[in-house]
Structure 1
Amino acid sequence: MSGKKKSGDLLSSIIFLLLVGSLGFFMWWSWASKPYSATGNNVKITITSGTTTDQLADELEQNHIIRSAWLFRWLVRSQQTNFKMYAGDYELAPTMAPDEIIELLIRGAELPGSIRVTIPEGYSTEQIIALLVQKGLGSKDEYTKVVTEDAFPYSFLVGAPKGIHRLEGFLFPNTYFIDPKTSPHAVIDLFLQQFAKELTPEAQTQLVSSKLTVPQWVTLASLVEKEAVKESDRPLIASVLMNRLKINMPLQVDATIQFLLGTPKPKLYNKDLQIPSPYNTYLNRGLPPGPIANPGDASLQAALNPAKTDFLYYVAKKDGYHAFAKTYQEHLKNVKLYQ
């Protein structure tokens, strides 16, 4: 009996300690997840392309903006791969809860006097430059010089094609809040910094397993970006392109012809498909020499994680979706059915 009593007492003690420990943890969590204080001045925090979550958490704690760096890091990691901090200057306050701060970092901060610039997915370098000029953030000549000549410290730009399309694919589409005094070089660098955040450790691991270089990945994603209209079609279109690459079949992507033309046509003709250029994916096998647009996160992820299919063809339908086929005969039926 005494042995059973001792076992019962030990179990009760363990349960009691677990309950006390759990209560203590939840009380701490409730305290740590609240704003640092009810009052306080804003603090300017600068995030660069090299800023890590750990560094940011420590800086916020040291500046008395958050109560716990550990909790902040846990909340960030709970976002998994969706959490990508936007480079720039942020006005953060001790009156903000940690989850509010994280939400702000995810969507980007709008500082007083800044200009809001939204770069749509699939925009070309020329379209981005025109948008920046329209927003009053510099001249066309300034941006052309920056894009074609200025040096940037990113390994993914090594070997990029010369000319106006040197940075094509790496000017990341997003909404930015830019100080009107920012130089054209710094504006372009801001876009490149944001692309660098797409190169997560997970993405780099997948690139190695896919045997793709970063430029090849972005080039593939740019084709997906220009071909896909509906979100669900992106991984399927990516699978068609990857399947063709594996068997050395010409990609035959109309968007590469539109890229060559400069001014898109509502309809392509056979003579357009004969334009001699390394970007012509009807005449040349493999990927074009570089991206044909600046893809967004969805297309980059589709290129990194294409659907597993045997499809080799697709044709656009009137509703924006595509019909996919494994054989040329099936493809011809789809063409007749949908076009």
Structure 2
Amino acid sequence: MDKESKKQEMFEKIQKRKEEGKTVRKIVGITSLVIVAIIAIVVLSGYFYIKSALEPVDPNSTTEIEVEIPIGSSLATISSILQENGVIKDARIFKYYTKFKNESQFQAGNYTLTQSMTLDEIIESLKTGKVYRKPIFTMTIPEGLTLEQIANIVETNTNYTKDEFMAKVTDEEFIENMIGTYPEIITEEVLEGNLRYALEGYLYPATYSFYEEDPTLDEIITTMISQTKEIVLGYSSLLEEKQMTVHELLTFASLLEEEATAQTDRETIASVFYNRLELDMPLQTDPTVLYALGSHKDQVLYEDLKVESPYNTYEVTGLPPGPIANAGKTSIEAVLNPTDTDYLYFLADPEGTNHFAKTYEEHLQNIETYLR
């Protein structure tokens, strides 16, 4: 073979290798694209599957599903039970979601769940032992209201009239039932003849959620009393230390609640009342006069101070026979943790700022300075 033939043969081999290299690169490129496409499809499919599994099975479902969680159930077991009952879409997703949120301490029991519940709602239910649902309606009871004012709110938010509410909270059989049901907070003290309403001050101010369209009056009232129990029993040791009954606590706290203004110092007002009680001085707080009169007035007149009533703290020493309104947590805590002072008098100026005095002469000077 001559020299030219060898060159030609080498050239052809080089060209062949180039073609083969191009073919290989095409195959590799196409294969890579296919692999990337497959990965993208898998990732997207996984994403949409997980996204779907994190959503309610049927957001519009109202069908109730009875689910039993046995004692000692592991998270994996609970997840499987929920999937088997159709409450969730995927047990594994629920398990991983729960671990991701660091949720635990689920409670055994029987639950009535629905397919419209979110994973968070299901988790909350299993943690509290109660079914967590969106309320049908809520009702807010502000601080400082009397039973009659609460009755107006109930009438506005439910199908019950004010008269029906008042008939229930003043019914002797119902009151006796409440004493038996809540002996820790409601005692025979509420049956003393000089109380206007036995359950005045025992319906705690809060926003309440109701999951039935028409809860009974018993359910509405006991829900509020139960909240009072939950709040008050948190201070059992302080009550024992002060040798104070729950009835006395709620009575005292109601005075602070009614005397309060936006800027008031309830702990200091509480100290004034404590100092007066120790000296057997009348508390002389206007809200008790208004409660005795049974009407609201912008200004208490001198003649009002003479009203004959066990609630009139201008005429009667000591605490009134019972609460004059419902008291919130701030007022309850002020009764149990008053400021240590020597004050015997206080007044609020037109802006709501309180001014305290140790002597009557100082109090008269405050009147002259801030009210005239």
Q: Tell me whether the two structures share a fold, i.e. TM-score over 0.5.
A: yes
Q: 1:264-323, CA deviations, whole angstroms, 9 ceiling, x for partnerless residues?
A: 111112211111111110111100000000011111111111111111110011111210
| Distance in 2 separating the partners of 1:221 and 1:59 | 45
The Cα shift of 1:231 comes to 5.3
Give, as a single letter, the amino acid of the residue that structure 2 aligns with 1:337: T
Q: Which residue of 2 aligns with 1:96?
A: 120
Higher relative contact order (CA 8 A, sep 6+): 1
Asked if 1:111 corresponds to 2:134, the answer is yes
Residue 271 to residue 193, structure 1, CA distance change in 2 (3 Å): same
Q: Amino acid of the residue matched to residue 188 of structure 1?
A: I
* Matching residue within 223, 229, 232 for 1:190: 223
- 3-state secondary structure, aligned to 1:219: helix
221-230 or 138-147, larger mean C-alpha shift: 138-147
Counterpart-to-counterpart distance in 1, 2:196 and 2:280: 29
Query: Retained in 2: the 8 A contact 1:143–1:185?
Result: no
Letter aligned with residue 287 of structure 2 = A
SS of residue in 2 equivalent to 1:200: helix
Figure out how many residues of one structure are paired with residues of the other and give that number: 270
The aligned residue for residue 331 of structure 1 is 363
Question: Mean alpha-carbon deviation: is it higher for 247-256 or for 154-163?
Answer: 154-163
Partner of 2:293: 261
- Which residue of 291, 314, 317 corresponds with 2:349? 317
Q: Is the 8 A contact 2:263 2:352 kept in 1?
A: no
CA deviation after TM superposition for structure 1 residue 96, in Å: 2.4
Asked whether 1:124 is paired with 2:124, we answer: no
Q: Which amino acid aligns with 2:182?
A: Y
Q: 2:190 is matched with which residue: 145, 156, 160?
A: 160
Q: CA deviation at 1:248?
A: 1.3
Question: CA separation in 2, counterparts of 1:44 and 1:300?
Answer: 42
Is the contact made by 1:218 and 1:300 (CA closer than 8 Å) also made in structure 2?
A: yes
Kindly report which structure 2 residues correspond to 1:272-311, keeping only aligned pairs within 5 A, or say none: 272-311=304-343
Structure 1 residues 234-243 or 152-161, which shifts more? 152-161
1:158-184 residue CA offsets vs partner (Å, 9 max, x unmatched):
221467621111110111122331011
Shift of 1:90: 10
Give how far 1:59 is off: 10
Paired residues for 1:66-85 under 5 Å: none
Tell me how far apart the structure 2 counterparts of residues 278 and 144 of structure 1 sit (CA, whole Å). 22
Q: Which runs of 5+ in 1 are unaligned?
A: 1-36, 46-57, 74-88
What CA deviation, in whole Å up to 9, does each residue of 1:216-243 have, x standing for no partner?
A: 0000000000001135511111111111
Q: 1:18-53: per-residue Cα shift (whole Å, max 9, x none)?
A: xxxxxxxxxxxxxxxxxxx945669999xxxxxxxx
CA contact (8 A) 2:200 2:325 kept: yes
Match of 1:230 in 2: 262
Q: Please state how far the C-alpha of 1:115 moved relative to its aligned partner.
A: 2.1
Tell me the residue number matched to 1:221.
Answer: 253
Question: How well do the aligned residues superpose, as a CA RMSD in angstroms?
Answer: 3.6
Is this contact kept in 1: 2:264–2:352, CA < 8 A?
no
C-alpha change, 1:181 and 1:262, in structure 2 (3 Å) is same
Structure 2: distance between partners of 1:258 and 1:59: 58
- Give the letter aligned to residue 120 of structure 2: M
Letter in 1 for 2:364: L
2:203 equivalent to 1:181:
no
CA contact (8 A) 2:238 2:336 kept: yes
